[in-house]
Amino acid sequence: MKINVVKNVLKANDLVAEKNRQAFREAGILAINLISSPGSGKTTLLEKTLAALSGRDPSIVIVGDLQTSRDAERVADRAFQVTQINTGMSCHLYANQIASSLPALDLEQASFLFIENVGNLVCPGEFDLGENLKVILLSIPEGDDKVAKYPTVFRAADLVLLTKIDLLDAFQYDLKRVESDLRKLNAVAPLLPFSATTGAGMEDWLKWLQQQKAAKLGAQARFISE
């Protein structure tokens, strides 16, 4: 009985997500769902990324939080447009919350849409928002055992950013264990060490974003010409 309820909620969500994806496709914008535990560095990643992209690639940000608009305020200066969604009691964003945000946004004018999900390493992996790509952040202080313990999100990942890599020496941390656990769940998602403090991984992250944008636009062009 309970499982049926969950299935229906997920199915309804997926239908809306598909419409969101179509809107992104028509606008030629690449939508990226940022997922991690609380405090793994999603907002800091966004601050740095928006600064690097500004001028060349205007970007829209949708931020999900239970309460407050602190994260939206942090990125407001650097984003083309920002929307804050307060989820109240919900531990993840739903596709319909994204759908409701879209009419107020100029998707055609921007290159990237970054959706910062609620800090949670479980449910955001199950709820499709219509994004093109899921990026999972896992910070060093969280420990090297988290990939196996939270398989849902890592299975769904298109890229895993190992954030706060500058703190590696402060912990007993087995990088090989993380990579090995990830490969058991996900054969393809790159694992990219990253530090907003030292700038490590920043160049590769920006390169990955551009490659994904090019791949998507290329795929659309092929689709139209066929």
| Footprint of its own copies (CB under 8 A) | 2, 5, 9, 37-39, 65-68, 70-71, 89-91, 118-123, 126, 139, 141-143, 145-146, 148-152, 164, 167, 170
Would you say 66 or 219 has its CB closer to its own copies? 66
Task: Pick between residue 114 and residue 208 the one whose CB is nearest to its own copies.
Answer: 114
Cα distance between residue 66 and residue 46, in whole Å: 19
Residue with tokens 């895993």: 160
> What is the distance between the alpha carbons of residues 208 and 211, in angstroms, rounded to a whole number?
5
In the complex with its own copies, the residue whose CB is nearer, 1 or 104, is 1
What backbone torsions phi and psi does residue 106 show, to the nearest 5 degrees? -95, 75
Nearer to its own copies, 79 or 121 (CB): 121
Question: Closest approach of Cβ 130 to its own copies, in Å?
Answer: 19
Q: HSE (CB half, 13 Å, CA atoms) of 222?
A: 6
Strand partners, 65: 86
Q: How far is the CB of 147 from its own copies (least distance, A)?
A: 10
CB of 150 to its own copies, least distance (A): 6
Of the pair 141, 218, the CB lying nearest its own copies is at 141
How far is 161 from 40, CA to CA, in rounded Å? 10
Q: How far is the CB of 188 from its own copies (least distance, A)?
A: 20
**Which residue in 85, 86, 80 sits closest to 98, CA to CA?**
85
In the complex with its own copies, the residue whose CB is nearer, 46 or 53, is 46
Q: Residue 92 CB, nearest distance to its own copies (Å)?
A: 8
Residue 153 CB, shortest distance to its own copies, in Å, is 10
Q: Which two tokens stand for residue 156?
A: 């769904």
Q: How many CB atoms lie within 10 A of CB 59?
A: 25
Residue 212's closest CA among 188, 196, 194? 188
Q: Which three-class secondary structure string do you get for 140-162? A: HHHCCCHHHHCHHHHHHCCEEEE
